[in-house]
Amino acid sequence: MEAEPLKTTAENIADALREEILRGRLKSEQGLRQSKLANRFGVSTIPVREALVHLNTEGLVDFHPNRGAFVAPLSTAELREIYALRGVLEPYALTQAMSRLSDEHIERCEQVLKAMDAEQDNYRWSVLNWEFHATQYSAAEMPRLSRMIRDLHIHVIRYIMHNIPDPHEIEMRSNHRAEHHAILDACRGRDAEIGVILLQRHLNTSLEVLTRFAAI
C-alpha cells in the first residue's frame, strides 16, 4: 500500500484550526489574527495565511477587507442549505455506489457503527458518522462528488457540536442508531431503492433535530 504523503506545515495548521472551529473552541465570528496564530504554532505568517485560505475554501473562515480573518458565522439558513444539498447529492452517491459495494465496505460500516456506540466524545462520534456514510459512497468511485459531500459533513459536525454536546443525546432525540442500521441492512441487500428512501428519511430527521435544538 502506498504511503500517504507528508502534510505541509500549512495543512497541519489547517487541520488543527479546523478541529478547534468544529469543536467550538474557536467561536462563531471570532477573529483569527495571523501574527498571533504564527506565534502559537511557532511559524511565520505565510503557512498561517495558507491555512486560513484553505479553511476559507471550506467555508469555515471568512475574510473581511481591512479587518482580517474571522470564524464563519453559524445560521439556521446555512444549516437548511447544507441539508438541501445533502438531500440531492447523497442519495445520488448511494445509488451509484450500491451495486459496487463489497463485503469489505459492509464490514467497515459495521465496525464504524460499533465504534460510534462506544464513543463518548461528540467530535469523534461525528467524525465516525461521516466515515459510516463515506465508506458507502466511496464505492461509487466518484472522488469529486465525495469531496463535495465531505465538505458538507464538515459543517454538519460544527452544528452538531454547537447544538448537541453529548453524542448519546443525539440518539435520545432521534433514531440515528436505528436509521444507520436500517441503511446498512439495505446496503447488505444492495437495494438502492430502499437505501435511498431510508437515507432521505435519515437526513430529514437529522435536520429536524439540529434545527429544533439550535442555539444560533
pLDDT digits (tens, 9 = 90+) for 140-187: 999 999 999 999 999 999 998 888 766 667 665 568 889 999 999 999
Q: In the predicted model, what is the mean pLDDT of residues 137-142?
A: 97
- Residue ranges, CATH 1.10.10.10, the chain: 9-71
Distance, in Å, from the CA atom of 136 to the CA atom of 121, rounded to the nearest integer, reads 23
Q: Which fold has domain 9-71?
A: Arc Repressor Mutant, subunit A (1.10.10)
Give pLDDT, residue 171.
63
CATH of domain 76-212: 1.20.120.530
Give pLDDT, residue 165.
65
Sign of the CA dihedral running 123, 124, 130, 133: negative
- Residue ranges, CATH 1.20.120.530, the chain: 76-212
Predicted TM-score (pTM) of this structure: 0.87
- Angle, nearest 10°, between helix axes 143-163 and 9-23? 40
